[in-house]
């Protein structure tokens, strides 16, 4: 009896995870998450990117988000899987040299950054939920007071991102 209950609970849990991972709802209203939470979550999520995880050095370029840049700079030297965060730059424009990741903090810069990231195969991230639906690969948002990971599969493909499939289980996926 205990084994049946346990099996039933496991199946329900797996169903909820799978259903939640592939749910796309226009009715969901996301809000922004504070920069310190974004930074902590993105650092953990970078390990799901197989290319970043295997790189020797990871660099992040932050566009128009000084609070986020400040939080990321605190993490320089921190391990990301087998890699290490070595550099965080910020500016109001595109980077002068190719970074591993670009954070978009200003929706007006989306088109320019998206073109750059697709041409140079750079992962785009943001704390602005609407930009993930528009074409940023990875975002952090809040829904019902809880952080949510937003993943745009089409954007991911255009940027050449090679994800560990486990990220699908913990993300709300957009196509």
| Tens digit of each residue's pLDDT (9 = 90 or more) over 122-145 | 999 999 999 999 999 999 999 999
* Euclidean distance between CA atoms 47 and 40, whole angstroms: 12
What's the number of domains the chain is made of? 1
Residue 155 above 60 pLDDT? yes
Q: Identify the CATH number of the domain in which residue 123 sits.
A: 3.40.50.2300
From residue 114, give the alpha-carbon distance in Å to each of 22, 119, 125, 162: 24, 9, 11, 17
Angle CA(154)–CA(88)–CA(91) in degrees, nearest 5?
80
Strand order in the sheet with 123-126: 79-80, 83-91, 57-63, 101-104, 123-126, 138-143, 146-152, 171-174
pLDDT tens string 39-91 = 999 999 999 999 998 898 999 999 999 999 999 999 999 999 899 999 999 99
For 135, the domain range is: 2-174
């Amino acid at each position: 009896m205990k084994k049946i209950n346990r099996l039933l609970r496991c199946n329900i849990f797996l169903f909820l995870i799978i259903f939640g991972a592939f749910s796309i709802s226009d009715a969901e209203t996301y809000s922004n998450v504070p920069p310190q939470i974004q930074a902590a979550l993105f650092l953990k999520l970078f390990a799901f990117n197989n290319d970043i995880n295997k790189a020797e050095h990871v660099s992040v370029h932050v566009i128009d988000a000084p609070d986020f840049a400040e939080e990321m700079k605190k993490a320089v030297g921190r391990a990301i899987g087998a890699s290490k965060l070595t550099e965080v730059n910020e500016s109001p424009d595109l980077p002068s040299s190719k970074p591993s990741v670009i954070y978009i903090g200003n929706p007006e810069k989306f088109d320019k950054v998206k073109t750059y990231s697709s041409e140079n195969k750079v992962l785009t991230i943001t704390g602005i939920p609407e930009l993930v639906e528009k074409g940023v690969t990875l975002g952090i948002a809040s829904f019902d007071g809880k952080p949510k990971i937003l993943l745009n599969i089409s954007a991911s493909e255009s940027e050449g991102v090679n994800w560990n499939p486990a990220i699908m289980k913990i993300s709300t996926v957009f196509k």
